[in-house]
Amino acid sequence: MIKLQGTLTHFANPLAHKDNRYSAAQKSILSVANSVSAIADIKTWPAYNETPLLSLDELAQAQGLKSIFYKDESQRFGLKSFKALGGAYAVARQLQQTMATKLGTEPSIDALLNGSLKEELATITISCATDGNHGRSVAWGAQMFGCGCVIYIHKDVSEGRKQAMQAFGAEVVRISGNYDESVRLADSEAKAQGRIIVSDTSYEGYMEIPKDVALGYTVMLSEIVEQLDNAIPSHIFIQGGVGGLASAVTGYFWDLWGSKRPRIIIVEPEQANCLQLSAKAGKPIVVDGDLETLMAGLACGEVSALAWEILNNGADDFLTLSENTIAPMMQFLAKGSADLAPIEAGESAVPGLAAAILANQDTSLALSLGLNKDSQVLVIGTEGATDPELYQQLVQG
């Protein structure tokens, strides 16, 4: 069994559970009721399949935990990431709303897919900035529904991820700055060119579309609920980034399970910990600089405004994770065992699991987080080998 070497920095959120109600304002961002139509629509898409929830029983036993559940998103729609759900769904919603304005009635998902609106859809261009996976989802959605697509990437996005977006027909523009600078450029050029921004982060003046991205993620969360078969995890270790996924996980399960909701623990890289610093300050904080981290999908310095509305009092704990835990965790999963087939997990898929193991190995931190023999831990393996060349380098050591 694995024994990780690395460091964690913990901050317990003093606002968590102060008022245990999931408020009307938070429900307006994401709720179980609002997710129903998104779930129904996405399940009609070509090649929809439920992804597996794996029980890592051998690992849980070795760690002295009751169970570890791993939601494996490595094959979602062939895009190898949970983000296939959010970006593409938000593209569909924008196309439906744009066509409703032109036609006087909102077309169905089937109408977008069957070619009857081909000429009209071809006049629309969708755009966004990305670390890789969200942009791939947006590009795939644009290709699936037949509209144009322009994606902005920052200097640290790998060539493999760039090529994956181009393979879906997107025009990809690389800038010399960081992720947050690419977000600002995409926004300004969209306004100048008449494009529709479909971003997974929200900011002043841009709040509605990221709600649809988050609603797309609820397909994965509803699958988890069914796969758990009435069990409610005690802990969820979830990756940070701008907070989009973390807030969807927090909000959906809080709305669904109320006071029985799991303890939500946010995991970030040491050099890109905008959520932890924001929790400490009690307000959104920007992390400047290169945001260098192997966890490419989490290299974000600015909190999504909508996400923060949920995480500010919904997340229980914030952890930063050192870089030296990532490759060993990927290697462990790739190796498999007598009881478990190898798991393809990219560098942004494993921080939640790595943090759970590392925290459990620290007696004091385990006590602080309430980890013990009765703990049922849920983690989300958010991606597979989204950059195959880098993946092979890391798992081969």
Express each pLDDT in 253-306 by its tens digit: 999 999 999 999 999 999 999 999 999 999 999 998 778 899 988 988 999 999
C-alpha closest to that of 81 among 321, 268, 348:
348
d(CA 122, CA 142): 10
Express each pLDDT in 141-168 by its tens digit: 999 999 999 999 998 898 988 999 999 9
C-alpha closest to that of 284 among 262, 307, 268:
307
d(CA 45, CA 195): 24
pTM: 0.94
> In this predicted structure, what is the pLDDT of residue 291?
83
71 falls in which pLDDT band (50, 70, 90)? Answer: very high
Look at residue 339 and tell me whether its pLDDT is greater than 90: no
Express each pLDDT in 341-355 by its tens digit: 999 999 999 999 999
The residues carrying an active-site annotation are 83, 131
Task: Quote the tokens at residue 359.
Answer: 């925290």
C-alpha closest to that of 380 among 266, 239, 243:
239
> In this predicted structure, what is the pLDDT of residue 281?
97
CB 308 within 8 A of CB 337: no
Task: Quote the tokens at residue 347.
Answer: 């560098």
When pLDDT is averaged across residues 189-195 and rounded to a whole number, the result is 96
C-alpha closest to that of 59 among 336, 385, 346:
336
**Domains located in the chain, CATH noted:** 8-82+210-395 (3.40.50.1100), 83-209 (3.40.50.1100)
